[in-house]
Amino acid sequence: MLYPLKLKPVYKPKPWGGRTLKTRFHKKIPDGKIGESWELCCRNDGMSVVAAGKLQGKTLKELIGAYREKLVGTRVYEKYGSDFPLFFKILDAAGRLSVQVHPDDACARRSGLPHGKDEMWYVIGTKGNASLIYGLKGGTSKEQLNRAIDHHRILPLLNEVAVKPGDFFSIPAGTVHAILGGILIAEIQQNCNTTYRLYDWDRTDQNGKKRELHIPQALEAIRFGGETPQAPFPAAAKTKGGAVVRPGPKVKEFRVDEVRLDGSIENRSDPESFQVVMDLDGGGKIQYGPACDGLDPGDTVLIPSCLGKYSVSGGAKLLYTHIEQ
């Protein structure tokens, strides 16, 4: 029988990373600037492994091959087969990320990639007056941006937005964006990691070398003239059982909700799709049948589509991800 699957994170060093993953979530990160914790991933450059239970040590790829629609759901398996469609990260942006953009599906396929990258951000925590870049200023054209890049004057064309814990941001492919430091973010996205950098703050590595930029690809990928999505996304709270639920934005096929527990919330797995629970505080518990698993801060759990009834209880704050038609 499948059960709620806790997964081991995959850690990635970044020049803008920090140590908050250790101090906030007590994660056993390696030395150095760790910018990304890949919480749930099924990729050649990072693969989730089950952390506990009878399937401990099995990779997500192995489980999809063995259990197919029982794990990921009938609709998901029919559409994606052995390719897991989503990618879950926690980002520790101690410093500024590059100003960047991701391709949409059509742009990605022109470059030989299977699909693009739409994503969603949830702000877990901030330090000081935190902000991020979210889109270009209204009316900016491709020609204006190209000239600004040539003259090293891109910053006046970028739209800066203040952020606070609990903010949701939908980041559609083609939207210029950057996290400006002092922000801890949960990032949930299409299973694509293609990033085109427009500007990297003139940073250099220990050898004095700047990171590669991708100006032609970025200019091709940016959505010019379109309406910038609302930032941050306004999420109205509603009460459900022993929880307060704030529905986040729908991004492509998936939606991420914030769930604040004060007691217990009853759920049922979806036979057509998997579900994912991220515990941001710790202290939560997942009950399924006679079994009960405790959750630590930062735990990410894959709920198999065949699980049936389950409940989550405690005093935790969760992010709950599900795929919608």
Q: Express each pLDDT in 165-206 by its tens digit.
A: 999 999 999 999 999 999 999 999 999 999 999 999 999 887
Share of the chain above pLDDT 70, in %: 100
Write the CB contacts of 54 (distance below 8 Å, at least 6 apart in sequence): none
Judge residue 58's burial from the number of C-beta atoms within 10 Å of its C-beta, 0-12 exposed, 13-18 middle, 19 or more buried: middle
Helix (H, G, I), strand (E, B) or coil at 289: coil
- Residue 288 CB neighbour total at 10 angstroms: 21
State the DSSP string of 101-144.
E---HHHHHHTT-S----EEEEEEEE-SS-EEEEEEPTT--HHH
Domains 5-221 and 238-323 share a fold: yes
- 75 flagged as catalytic: no
**CATH architecture, domain defined by 238-323:** Sandwich (2.60)
Q: Which helix (H) or strand (E) holds 22?
A: helix 20-25
- pLDDT the model gives residue 198: 96
* Closest C-alpha to 317, from 246, 258, 249, 239: 258
Question: How far apart, in whole angstroms, are the C-alpha atoms of residue 49 and residue 59?
Answer: 4
How do residues 113-148 score in pLDDT, each as one tens digit? 888 999 999 999 999 999 999 999 989 999 999 999
Write the CB contacts of 245 (distance below 8 Å, at least 6 apart in sequence): 237, 238, 239, 257, 258, 259, 260
The single-letter DSSP state of residue 157 is G
Which among 96, 197, 246, 260 is annotated as catalytic? 197
User: Which tokens in the block code for residue 183?
Assistant: 């922000």
Question: How far apart, in whole angstroms, are the C-alpha atoms of residue 277 and residue 185?
Answer: 15
**CATH architecture, domain defined by 5-221:** Sandwich (2.60)
- pLDDT the model gives residue 31: 97
pLDDT greater than 80 at residue 65: yes
The counts of H helices and E strands in the chain are 7, 25
Question: How far apart, in whole angstroms, are the C-alpha atoms of residue 204 and residue 15?
Answer: 9
Helix (H, G, I), strand (E, B) or coil at 229: coil
Q: How many residues does the chain have?
A: 325
Question: How far apart, in whole angstroms, are the C-alpha atoms of residue 323 and residue 255?
Answer: 6
How do residues 215-249 score in pLDDT, each as one tens digit? 999 999 999 987 788 899 999 998 988 899 999 99
So where are the chain's domains? 5-221, 238-323
How do residues 144-160 score in pLDDT, each as one tens digit? 999 999 999 999 999 99
pTM: 0.95
Question: How far apart, in whole angstroms, are the C-alpha atoms of residue 210 and residue 88?
Answer: 28
Q: What is the mean pLDDT of the chain?
A: 94
